[in-house]
Amino acid sequence: MEFEVNRTEKIRGVVNAPPSKSYTHRAFLIASLAEGFSKIKYPLYSDDTMATLDSSLAMGVDITAESEECLIYGSGGNLKTPDDVLDVRNSGTTLRFFSSAASLAPGYTVLTGDQSIRTRPMQDLMESLEKLGVSIRSTKNNGKAPIIVNGGLMGGNTSIRGNVSSQFISSILITAPYADKPVDLEIQGKFISKPYVDITLDVMKEFGVEVETNNANQFHIEPQVYKGKEYTVEGDYSSASYLIAAAASLNSDLTIKNLNLESKQGDKFILDIVKQMGCDVNLKENQVNIQGQGELHGIDVNLGNTPDLLPTVAALGAMADGTTHIYGAEHARLKETDRIHTCALELSKLGVIVKENPDGLTIEGEAKGGVVKSHHDHRLVMALYLIGLKVGGVKIEDASVYQISFPNFIEVMDELSK
């Protein structure tokens, strides 16, 4: 699917933020592991989160997905061995989370996904799980999917590097309560994307599991059981970042509802970023109002804790006066694509002067129209779409992948830019 984005003069309206992808993934899995019944209200049904839901189904969890809620009859940690390979499609979160959860099922579970997923690093997680008594192997012995997990989670002491993926840490934490004995997890070195681990701990606590932490880098989990409950998924700052950035770069008056101003989501940092670039941001209870004048200036910004914002901020930099310098985000190279490289490559096709650095990008504004590729990365599609709204004439090839995280993105943007 290819589409051309036409220039628009303004963004106006009131819209609900999409439900959080991060919170939905965690709620689906934790409710699946819980004892008893859970009602997950206002979850995000997207390609990625459905990969998690379908994996739970394949492991014997009874699930009824309705439009505004998902009813999950938990397994109490007693997952079943799947009848077939678990296909996580393009969801790295699902692959990482279920590599640990599969240890709770007897027999062998095989996890794989699409071509992109089979390039994602898994070795650190595998080695950490092995220290907890999990038998886990890469079929090609390259530390990547397909992954084979043999049931059994003893517990004990383990460690993991903190500078590869916070999903590894969340994966271990979520499954740890069902180990035979307590789990002690130590994070070694730099701890990147910590807000995502804070989200994990938040959802675990909501479902009745306590995690002791002596300091930011050590976690102790006693054997426990999650308890089913009614749980409401909050709005997603990652997806809302595209709405916020569109409003910031154009003449706008946009109100986004269902955004928790006290959220643990690191990506609420987008509000500070657009404010620094010259946009008016007004906060009220659970809603954000953006007043844009269509004039932004470049800034220096550290995305060490918020690598998913890199495409959004790169697009803003391409529409701003002066220089935008993004740094601290070397782990953005390990996402659906090497996002530092693909952002640099595609922005250059739009006439942007961009320098690719080891940990980020240096961008000079003045984007114009052109033909770009998605690299099958949902965040790159939505970021490039923003530039199209500003300058017009941007054609995006293989654009339909935005549905991975924001299924009605095009409809929402069309409505706001009428």
Residues marked as catalytic: 308
Report DSSP state, residue 280.
E
| Amino acid at residue number 48 | D
Cα atoms in the 13 Å half-sphere on the side-chain side of 209: 30
What are the beta bridge partners of residue 61?
none
Buried b (16+ CB within 10 A) or exposed e, 104-140: bbeeebbbbbeebbbebebebbbbbbebbbbebeeee
For 25, 43, 62, the CA distances from 36, given in Å and listed in that order, are 19, 19, 11
Alpha helices (H) along 102-136: 123-130
Burial class (CB in 10 A: 0-12, 13-18, 19+), 352: buried
Which residue blocks in 66-155 are alpha helix, DSSP H?
92-101, 123-130
**How, if at all, do strands 360-364 and 353-357 pair?**
antiparallel
- For the chain, the farthest-separated pair of C-alpha atoms sits apart, in whole angstroms, at 60
Question: Which amino acid appears at position 87 of this protein?
Answer: D
CA 366 vs. chain centroid, Å, equals: 29
Q: What are the angstrom distances between the C-alpha of 41 and each of 44, 232, 354?
A: 9, 5, 42
Q: Identify whether the C-beta of residue 267 lies closer than 8 Å to the C-beta of residue 296.
A: no
| Strands 370-373 vs 394-397: parallel, antiparallel or unpaired | parallel
Question: Element (H or E) spanning 270, and its range?
Answer: helix 269-276
> Phi-psi bin for 370: left (phi > 0), alpha (psi -120 to 50), beta?
left
Instruction: Please say whether the beta carbons of 185 and 219 come within 8 A.
Output: yes
